[in-house]
Structure 1
Amino acid sequence: MNQNEPVVFKSEDSLWQMLQQGTKSWDARHFDANDERIRRLILGHWEKNPNPGRLAYYEYDEPFVCFLNKLTGQTLQFRFRGLITTGWAPGWCFIQLGGLVGTYDADGSGASV
C-alpha cells in the first residue's frame, strides 16, 4: 500500500449504510499489527508546543479513513479521529470517525460533503 493512497476498509452494506447515515461513528476491527492499514492509523506524534497549562495531545499522521461498500463499490471518506484499544475487548481496536468528507462511486467520481 502506497503512503499516498487512502486507508480503506471493505465493509458490508449494512455497516456502510449506518456510517453514511451518521448512526454509527466508529468501527471495530481486528487489531493486527501486520495489517498496514492498522499500522498507518497508529502512527503519529505528540503535539509540539502545547499552550501553557494544557497537556500535549497525540496527533495522528493519517487524516482520513475510508470504507468501501463491498456490494455497491461506493466509498465513504471520513476524518480520522483516533484508534482505541481496551482491556474488555482484547484483540480488537476501535476506529473513531469524525465528519463525513465525501462519498465516491465505484468509478471514483463523487462529491465532497
Structure 2
Amino acid sequence: MADTKEKGFDDVFAVNPDENNIIATLSDPQTHCAVTIESSRNGMILFTANSFTKDHMNFVRTDGIGYPHEGVAMEPMILPKPGREKDFSEMTIKKDQPVSYAIKYHLNF
C-alpha cells in the first residue's frame, strides 16, 4: 500500500493476465460475493474511495453520509514498457489502425 494521506489504496499495480486473461479477483469471505476482472492489459489501478465524506457523497442507504473506503475501484490499464527510455509504443494508437480492447467484470453473488 502506498503511503497516502487518506490511509487507503490509490496505487498502480503491474499484473500478468493468466491463460483466461484473469488479472484480479476481489472477494468478501463473509458473503462470498466476488468480482473477477478479465483483461489482456498489464496494469491495474486500485482505488479505495479514500476521500468519501458526508460532504462529498449522496448515498440513499446512509442518508447521504459517505465514509472513507466505502467503495473500491479496480481499473485495468496498459503500462509503458520498463527501461531507461520511455517506451509508450503499446499505448500508442496509430492513424487508420483499428484497435479493440475488452474488459470484463464477472460478478458472483
TM-score range, shorter chain: under 0.3
Larger Cα-atom Rg: 2
The structure with more strand, counted as a fraction of residues: 1
Higher helix share: 1
Q: TM-score, normalised by structure 1?
A: 0.26
